[in-house]
Amino acid sequence: MNLRCAIVDDEVLAIEILEGLLKRIPNIQVVATFNDAIQLLEKICELEIDFLFLDIEMPGLSGIDFLKSLPRPPLTIITSANKNYAIEGFELNVIDYLVKPFTFERLLKATNRVSEIVSVKTAHPIVSNSLDYIYLKENKRVVRVKISEIKYLESIKDYVKVVTQSKTVITKQNLSFFEKSLDPQHFIRVHRSFIVGVKHIDAYSCSSVEIGSQEIPIGRLYKDDTLKKFGEIVDTE
């Protein structure tokens, strides 16, 4: 999948370096560059881009204020020499935060993340730009589900049952797709047939997880990763 991007940075050299690195990634095309966010703000509606590289400290309008000014900002990777904006950046749902100078390997990791998200958005389910919701196709309709409300997902043959705090949706998809799409900080696969939302876990042991009245088994192949995720080792002896 080819991805179109724009670069915003007040340092010409920084743009040239980033463009040079991106030329080594075959599916990334730089379609526009800007030396300040105001220029981009004037052109944002005309650009057809999949994502944006955005500097923070720029004259006139900072990268943070630029993102705040947009009701639906594009997928964004921040590039900044100052790591102090990282928390504020992630609160604005940026895809990644690259601290200058960064390596090609670090850049590649960030662009791969964009590729994964764009792939999800162009398939079913569809993840919104804000990454707050997931859209699931159920029969002949598309249902919006808030990601933070997902309690667990269960694989049922060619379908996945998504159980949330307020509803249950059954969509034609495989569980591995959701495993790759959902944030591993908030979701963990505990069994070949189950993914659970970490915040909804009420109790767990070395063999199962409890979410409300539902007891979900921990599979043998997933046990070590599951217990590590929970932050402690359960004595099985």
Domain chopping of the chain, boundaries: 3-121, 126-230
Collect contacts of 44-47 with beta carbons under 8 A, ≥24 apart. Answer: 44/70, 44/74, 47/6
Task: Indicate the fold that domain 3-121 takes in CATH.
Answer: Rossmann fold (3.40.50)
Q: What is the pTM of this model?
A: 0.54
- Per-residue pLDDT for the chain (237 aa), expressed as one digit of tens each? 789 999 999 999 999 999 999 999 999 999 999 999 998 887 887 888 999 999 999 998 999 999 988 877 889 999 999 989 988 888 888 989 999 999 999 999 999 989 887 776 555 554 444 457 777 878 777 788 889 999 999 999 889 999 999 999 998 888 988 888 788 888 999 999 999 999 999 999 989 999 999 999 999 999 988 888 776 434 443
| CATH architecture observed for domain 126-230 | Beta Barrel (2.40)
Place of tokens 């569809």: 126
